[in-house]
Structure 1
Amino acid sequence: MSTQPAETPTLDYRSDRAFLGHPRGLGYLSFAEAWERFSYYGMAALLALYGSKQLFQPGHIETIWGFAPFRELLESLYGPLTPLTLGGAIAALYGSLVYLTPIAGGYIADRFIGRTRAVTTGAILMAAGHFFMTFDQTFVVAMACLLIGVGFFKGNIAAQVGDLYAPGDLRRADAFQIYMLGIQIAVIAAPIVCGWLGQKVAWHFGFGAAGVGMLIGLIVYLSGRRWLPAEPAAKQGGIVEPRPKLVKGEGIRIVVLALLVPVLAFTAVGNQQLFAAYELWGDAHYQLRFFGWEMPATFLISFDAIISTITMAGSVVFWRWWGTRHTEPDEITKLTIGSIIAMLAPLVLALASLHEAATGEKVSLAWGLAFHILNDVGFANIFPVGLALYSRASPKAIGSTMLAVYYLNLFLAGLIVAKLATLLGTLSGFQFWGLHALLMAGASVVLLIVRGVAGRLLAPTVDPEAEAGIQSVGA
């Protein structure tokens, strides 16, 4: 299969509104990313449970090629780990590292092979990684393929979304929320399909289904290449100039955006804990038996995805409505609002843990519903809005690299979550989830300060050419 970039499209991306008022390329990128997310979340929903219940149990862990040195490293950092805490820590670390490797993938795409080749290479490696997960022995090989593959795929496909819009095109933030909405629909199905296959049939069937989903995503992406942003011409394996250059005044924006990364990391710890300690805590503490049927714990992820889809759509509709009556807030303001709301989510679980301790009864999913609503309303105003901010405010010379820098906030959040996951068996539920809420509250305070100090620097400016183009289309 050819991985050559598509021929330069003749589309005027500033005026194309064929897909829900947006360029057609947004549709292909959204569906391709949705299938990639199906594969990712299908596998991630199983990882902690599979590790704690089978892979890291005696008789299995010894068969993993090359795993012993890695286990020794983890225990030197976190102390002795049981199958339960090892499963949680590995899931959290994987969820962290998938946001580190896009730095290298973005740089390679920006300077050498272009985004189309990078995304295609990443999809192939990720499909291979999911299929390697179907064997205990190749677990480390699978992790390597998945991490390298996502490095090529993740930041570059998001950067192509941003490339569909002129700098002052106000559709950009809306586009990233639509992009995320498409992902959420796939995420609903992934833990149900892969989780049910993994927990009720065989673990490896679930991982195999994730691999098939990744192959579908690759096919969708390649079929839509003619509608994607133009690539610079390629010659002898490298990108030929002219390439955009950094200009005076862009350095300070790079510094501010880089300093925001650790702050955003702390706003994400509640959401990033979903695939690590939360799933394991929910398996042990939620009331999951209904009319004699035991609900697989992986279904909690689909439960979250359904609510997240509704809140993501609701957020798009709400801000469109708000914009017709008031001045729509800029991205840094939305990020601050989202972080405050998200902070309340682990606080709900802390209170639920107090109720469980007082009554001796398992936690009702009504508490879980409150947790997911607050978490997902906050997420809808943090993650896609952050993507829009970094896509718009980053210098064009290093656009893919800066989006990869943005994903570092989830890498750092994963490291924090991995450490917190090892405390699951030592802290009470109230202490465990209260600690999450405290960390997130601190990040919200910092965002309020950043908004006051650097809000003007990060505020959007309108591109006169883009504004004129949009007005002419409306006419």
Structure 2
Amino acid sequence: MKVEEQHAQGSKGEGIDKKTIFGHPVGLYILFLTEMWERFSFYGMKALLIFYLTKYHFFSDTEGNHIVGNYAALVYALPILGGALADRFLGFRKAVTFGAVLLVLGHLGMAFEGFQAYYTDGGTAVRDEFAIQCFYFSMGLIIMGVGFLKPNISTIVGELYEQGDSRRDSGFTIFYMGINLGGFIATLLCGWLGETYGWRYGFGAAGIGMLFGLIVFISGQKYLMGKAEPKQPQLLRSRSILGISNEWLIYLLSFGGVFVCWQLVQNHVVVGSLLTITSILVVLYLIWFIATECTPKERGQMIVLIVLTLFTVVFWALFEQAYTSMNLFADRVVDRMTPYGEIKASQFLSLNSLFIILFAPVFAWIWIRLAKKNMEPSTPVKFAIGIILAGVGFGALVIGIQNANELGKVAPFWLALAYFFHTSGELSVSPVGLSAVTKLSVPKIVGFMMGVWFLATASSEYIASILANIAHVDTEGGIVADTKVALGAYSELYSFLLYAGIITGTVLLVLSPLLRKYMYGVK
């Protein structure tokens, strides 16, 4: 899963409760547990999503990939709006609480399965359309909930520390471990429950986890030291044009936004069109801004940032195969039987979180050691390494396919190796990229550029779903009839992604000296 650390600016003002645990504010651990349970619910649900669509409601691979892509794209687009509303009106505490409530409702709503699809004598799939619409509406609640919670809980972490506080980085590291601990537990537990006992149990467990997170956050309010309150409470209480307070107007409009997301998640073409139009408008604005508002130094740095942002689209489009094609690959062609029982396909996703927990400190140590020797790679080189590693991960899967056993099954080692390479690539791109946004952006639009970064991520999620369709396989009730045909389809996709990653990363590697020149000393 993505490295989701986001450094925020400190805040002035005195706290309400300044107790500490292991030298850090108690509020940090409240946020740690809240985020752990939120990520538990998010990744627990996401791990089951493609299987629920293809194996319970009998969606085709193409339909399932599109829905997952729509969902993921919207999840990464909405935090731009949620962050802006929190900063201008709600404050971070209210935004996180409201987002958590929406998430609880959404995850618990997904526990309603309806009846499983079945085929008529004519071969037509009959689905429970009411259950499917409940599912889409629940996804709309989750999308809107993430939009309010995700950008703002990270900001509260930063608000707990004053400017220049040396504990800030270690505080974010602790918080970051909560993200991956939640993801690790979720993909093991929710995946096992959903695939063993029924989808409602996996989705329900995700909802219960989010409920725990909401309870923890509400009960720990006093430990946030007053740093998450609205900046202008009088503006929030003011009457809107509808005669209700601005706060309730925001909640009302947000529920309206849930209905919009409900419809969008079902329409791949509309989501793609909105992303395209938004991206074009953003590019046009940036061209104008760079040409008219920037000094030569700022112009160079902004161009470098835009180039890096475009290259991250390629990385995430490769990386996010985990929740579509790689999940189906694990289910259909990986030999998952062990002397201790069967590994559920969704449980392989836990390897990403496990590898992050194990190797994030190693990567941090490597960068520090290289910096001391004046050998640390520049940001473009780190990006290039990350993209190449993502491509190499697919190379591991291609080798695994070529060495499938007589039954057409691939050894799980190759999938684990792919996740290792992908996670290594992630650690070279994601935290470095978030840092690059803050260092290369013109200060007055750094918030906007962070939004552009998440817009690029949203676009990559959409592109990932289209790429996954290269490996679409015909199924009967979610079951592949011919494993060897499936192997051929996955080999075609992963060979393409192998070369796409290596070639794109190499191009960036070649461009890196030029990009570094226009970074004007920024590492």
TM-score bracket, shorter-length normalisation: 0.7 to 0.9
How far is the alpha carbon of 1:459 from its aligned partner? 6.7
User: Which residues of 2 match residues 71-90 of structure 1 at below 5 A?
Assistant: 82-90=59-67
Between the aligned partners of 1:405 and 1:21, the Cα distance in structure 2 is 35
* 1:432-472 Cα deviation digits (max 9, x unpaired): 1111222223432354356433436557879xxxxxxxxxx
How far is the alpha carbon of 1:46 from its aligned partner? 0.8
How far is the alpha carbon of 1:141 from its aligned partner? 0.9
* 1:153-198 Cα deviation digits (max 9, x unpaired): 2223334445567888898776655543331111111012211221
- CA-atom RMSD, angstroms? 3.6
Structure 1 residues 133, 400: CA separation in 2 closer, same or farther (over 3 Å shift)?
A: farther
Question: Is 1:192 the equivalent of 2:188?
Answer: yes
SS of the residue corresponding to residue 387 of structure 1 reads helix
Quick check: 1:33–1:183 contact (8 Å CA) kept in 2?
yes
Q: How many residues align?
A: 422
* 1:325-382 Cα deviation digits (max 9, x unpaired): 55655544433332232221111112212222x8554111111221121111111221
Question: Is 1:428 the equivalent of 2:506?
Answer: no
How far is the alpha carbon of 1:391 from its aligned partner? 4.0
Between the aligned partners of 2:408 and 2:358, the Cα distance in structure 1 is 30
Between the aligned partners of 1:231 and 1:323, the Cα distance in structure 2 is 40
Question: Is 1:109 the equivalent of 2:86?
Answer: yes
Between the aligned partners of 1:404 and 1:25, the Cα distance in structure 2 is 26
SS of the residue corresponding to residue 225 of structure 2 reads helix
Quick check: 1:351–1:430 contact (8 Å CA) kept in 2?
no
User: Which residues of 2 match residues 48-63 of structure 1 at below 5 A?
Assistant: 48-54=50-56, 56-57=57-58
Question: Is 1:371 the equivalent of 2:418?
Answer: yes
Quick check: 2:89–2:231 contact (8 Å CA) kept in 1?
no
Mind listing any 5+ residue stretches in structure 1 that lack a counterpart?
Answer: 1-6, 58-81, 240-245, 463-475
Between the aligned partners of 2:162 and 2:500, the Cα distance in structure 1 is 37
* 1:131 aligned residue: 108
Quick check: 1:155–1:400 contact (8 Å CA) kept in 2?
no
Question: Is 1:118 the equivalent of 2:95?
Answer: yes
Quick check: 2:38–2:213 contact (8 Å CA) kept in 1?
yes
Between the aligned partners of 1:21 and 1:392, the Cα distance in structure 2 is 28
Q: TM-score, normalised to structure 2's length?
A: 0.70
Structure 1 residues 151, 197: CA separation in 2 closer, same or farther (over 3 Å shift)?
A: same
User: Which residues of 2 match residues 140-151 of structure 1 at below 5 A?
Assistant: 140-151=136-147
Between the aligned partners of 1:230 and 1:397, the Cα distance in structure 2 is 23
Between the aligned partners of 1:235 and 1:186, the Cα distance in structure 2 is 37
* 1:157 aligned residue: 153
Between the aligned partners of 2:200 and 2:437, the Cα distance in structure 1 is 38
SS of the residue corresponding to residue 149 of structure 1 reads helix
Quick check: 1:92–1:275 contact (8 Å CA) kept in 2?
no
SS of the residue corresponding to residue 335 of structure 1 reads helix
Question: Is 1:453 the equivalent of 2:449?
Answer: no
Deviates more, 1:94-103 or 1:388-397: 388-397
Question: Is 1:237 the equivalent of 2:236?
Answer: yes
Quick check: 2:89–2:230 contact (8 Å CA) kept in 1?
no
Question: Is 1:266 the equivalent of 2:314?
Answer: yes
Quick check: 1:95–1:272 contact (8 Å CA) kept in 2?
no
Quick check: 1:107–1:401 contact (8 Å CA) kept in 2?
no
SS of the residue corresponding to residue 403 of structure 2 reads helix
* 1:294-328 Cα deviation digits (max 9, x unpaired): 22111111233222321223223333444455565
Structure 1 residues 440, 324: CA separation in 2 closer, same or farther (over 3 Å shift)?
A: same
- Structure 2 counterpart of 1:132, which letter? G
Between the aligned partners of 1:118 and 1:404, the Cα distance in structure 2 is 17
SS of the residue corresponding to residue 428 of structure 1 reads helix
SS of the residue corresponding to residue 454 of structure 2 reads helix
- Structure 1 counterpart of 2:312, which letter? L
Between the aligned partners of 2:518 and 2:176, the Cα distance in structure 1 is 26
Between the aligned partners of 2:494 and 2:180, the Cα distance in structure 1 is 25
Select which of 290, 297, 318 maps to 2:338.
Answer: 290
Between the aligned partners of 1:369 and 1:206, the Cα distance in structure 2 is 23
Quick check: 1:112–1:238 contact (8 Å CA) kept in 2?
no
* 2:203 aligned residue: 207
- Structure 1 counterpart of 2:339, which letter? F
- Structure 2 counterpart of 1:233, which letter? Q
Quick check: 2:107–2:207 contact (8 Å CA) kept in 1?
yes
How far is the alpha carbon of 1:103 from its aligned partner? 2.1
Select which of 427, 449, 452 maps to 1:380.
Answer: 427
Structure 1 residues 417, 458: CA separation in 2 closer, same or farther (over 3 Å shift)?
A: same
* 2:356 aligned residue: 308
* 1:444 aligned residue: 505
SS of the residue corresponding to residue 472 of structure 2 reads coil
- Structure 1 counterpart of 2:506, which letter? V
How far is the alpha carbon of 1:41 from its aligned partner? 0.5
Between the aligned partners of 1:88 and 1:143, the Cα distance in structure 2 is 15
* 2:251 aligned residue: none
Between the aligned partners of 1:278 and 1:171, the Cα distance in structure 2 is 38
Quick check: 1:52–1:84 contact (8 Å CA) kept in 2?
yes
Deviates more, 1:222-231 or 1:419-428: 222-231
Structure 1 residues 121, 181: CA separation in 2 closer, same or farther (over 3 Å shift)?
A: same
Mind listing any 5+ residue stretches in structure 2 that lack a counterpart?
Answer: 1-10, 114-130, 239-288, 474-487
SS of the residue corresponding to residue 268 of structure 1 reads helix
Between the aligned partners of 2:216 and 2:345, the Cα distance in structure 1 is 31
SS of the residue corresponding to residue 135 of structure 1 reads coil
Percent identical residues = 30
Quick check: 2:90–2:230 contact (8 Å CA) kept in 1?
no
* 1:34 aligned residue: 36
Structure 1 residues 178, 309: CA separation in 2 closer, same or farther (over 3 Å shift)?
A: same
Between the aligned partners of 2:443 and 2:303, the Cα distance in structure 1 is 15
SS of the residue corresponding to residue 236 of structure 1 reads helix
User: Which residues of 2 match residues 326-337 of structure 1 at below 5 A?
Assistant: 326=374, 328-329=376-377, 331-337=379-385
How far is the alpha carbon of 1:134 from its aligned partner? 1.4
Deviates more, 1:280-289 or 1:224-233: 224-233
Structure 1 residues 333, 171: CA separation in 2 closer, same or farther (over 3 Å shift)?
A: farther
Quick check: 1:338–1:377 contact (8 Å CA) kept in 2?
yes
How far is the alpha carbon of 1:18 from its aligned partner? 6.3
- Structure 2 counterpart of 1:96, which letter? A
Deviates more, 1:379-388 or 1:112-121: 112-121
Quick check: 1:177–1:384 contact (8 Å CA) kept in 2?
no
How far is the alpha carbon of 1:99 from its aligned partner? 0.7
